[in-house]
Amino acid sequence: MQVAVRLRQSEKLGRVTVPPTVALLRYAYDSDAKRARQERVGTVPFWTDELPDDLKAQLTPEELADWQTFVNDRNYQQERALWRFCLNNSVRMLAYASKALQAGEKPASPTLARKAAKLFMQSMDEAGFGEGKVGPGRPRKDAEMDADYLLLRTPEEFEQWERLKDQGDIGELPNFIPPEAQKPEAPKKKGFPEYPEGDLIARALRLAFVGGEGEGDEG
């Protein structure tokens, strides 16, 4: 059985997105026509985990295994997209969390927050991104960083920061507007397609931080 996934161009989002539904296709050989014929067994929402009972009853064990392969691949891509998103935005997340603390906000669990920060640093070291030893002489530049500095994005913003710092006006920063992110096209692979990162992240964030599917999963 084939789970037919046809990615589509969304005019609203301005990018390729996952389809609202996927089709379950069965192929059988027609001896009279001497060729394979395609039969649509059913159509289900793209993010469905469990097939409806009436549809499941029509499928063979092999076809049910094909469906589970699709689900496993989709969920794996979603999980990895969430990891990449959090890692790629870890500096900004930590900077915003620091600003919240400086503003008097309280973490839900200070103990777990400290353990999470320690685990992140440990994981950085184990992945080969350790700090290294600090030599004698002038303190490292990163020792002077604060949350606002970590939230800068472009070389122009960093240059302006340095200029304002030298002038003593660092407290009054302009309202920076982040540039549009340019992403390379995902490489093609055999089997299931590479699903759009935006769709994977949007759903993964809802499940990881909001605790529910929310609206728009089928849009």
pLDDT per position as a tens digit, 50-108: 999 999 999 999 999 999 999 999 999 999 999 999 998 898 889 989 999 999 999 99
Confidence of residue 150 (pLDDT cuts 50, 70, 90): confident
Q: Which residues contact 9 (CB under 8 A, 6 or more apart)?
A: 15, 16, 17
Does the pLDDT value for residue 26 go beyond 60? yes
Chain centre to alpha carbon of residue 5: 20
The Cα diameter of the chain in Å comes to 86
**Which residue type, as a one-letter code, is found at position 121?**
M
Which is more confident, 108 or 144?
108
Confidence of residue 196 (pLDDT cuts 50, 70, 90): confident
Q: Which residues contact 72 (CB under 8 A, 6 or more apart)?
A: none
Q: Which residues contact 18 (CB under 8 A, 6 or more apart)?
A: 5, 7, 8, 46, 195, 196, 199
Does the pLDDT value for residue 186 go beyond 80? no
Confidence of residue 140 (pLDDT cuts 50, 70, 90): very low
- Share the mean pLDDT of the chain: 79
The structural domains of the chain, with segments of one domain joined by +, span: 2-88, 89-103+143-173
DSSP the chain: -EEE---EEETTTTEEE--SEEEEEEEEEETTTTEEEEEEEEEEETT-SS--HHHHTTS-HHHHHHHHHHHHHHHHHHHHHHHHHHHHTHHHHHHHHHHHHHTT---S-HHHHHHHHHHHHHHHHHTT----PPPSSSPPGGGG--HHHHT--SHHHHHHHHHHHHHT-TTS-----PPPP--PPPPP-SSSPPPPHHHHHHHHHIIIII-S--S-TT-
Which is more confident, 11 or 121?
121
**Percent with pLDDT over 90 in the chain:** 42
Q: What is the pLDDT of residue 144?
A: 57
Phi then psi for 167, rounded to 5 degrees?
Answer: -85, -5
Q: What is the pLDDT of residue 120?
A: 95
Which is more confident, 168 or 13?
13
Q: What is the pLDDT of residue 109?
A: 96
Q: Which residues contact 171 (CB under 8 A, 6 or more apart)?
A: none
Query: What is the average per-residue pLDDT within 3-8?
Result: 90
The pTM (predicted TM-score) of the whole model is 0.66
Q: What is the pLDDT of residue 179?
A: 47
Q: What is the pLDDT of residue 200?
A: 86
